[in-house]
Homo-oligomer: A and B are copies of this chain.
Amino acid sequence: MSDKYQQRRFDIYGYEKIDTEVLEAIPYEYPEKNTVVEYITEEFSSVCPWTGLPDTAKLTIRYIPHQKLVELKSLKYYLTSYRNVGILQEHAVNRILDDLVKLLEPKFMEVIGEFHERGGISTKVVARYEK
């Protein structure tokens, strides 16, 4: 039986398909305040680097903006670009943090991925940046 499934391995894209260039910042009008901004989606998805089977997660991006906000539609396209990329859950969360810190230069940022269970085990990853 396993032969059948091995022939059917799904396409797995490499890291180069992560579309950091689509990301766009917009000016923030209250840079002197310590405002906390949070984006939440229940629909983040990438694939397992070994089997190509999807990993799905609730993703939370929390930050204190300095002079820039991320444009929401560009964020959606950026996150959607992970959809067929093979990447470990722990690494995906850290990569998103790094890309957004580079774009926004915030005072603080935290990215949280809560991945649906695999083999009866679910995984939560919390990566953090402080200036």
Could you list which residues of chain A lie within 8 angstroms of chain B, going by C-beta atoms? 1, 4-5, 8, 10, 19, 22, 24, 28-30, 33-43, 45, 53-54, 56, 65, 69, 72-77, 80, 83-84, 88, 90-91, 93-94, 116-128
Contacts and interface: CB of A to CB of B under 8 A. Distances in A.
Given A10-B80, A35-B126, A127-B35, A30 B91 contact: yes
B54 A122 contact: no
B72 A43 contact: no
B128 A41 contact: no
B123 A43 contact: no
18 contacts: A4-B22, A4-B24, A4-B74, A8-B19, A33-B94, A34-B128, A36-B125, A38-B123, A38-B125, A38-B126, A39-B123, A41-B121, A45-B56, A53-B80, A65-B90, A69-B90, A76-B121, A116-B120
A91 B35 CA distance: 10
Contacts of A24: 1, 4
B117 A35 contact: no
B35 A121 contact: no
Contacts of A117: 40-41, 117, 120
A120 B90 CA distance: 19
A5 B76 CA distance: 11
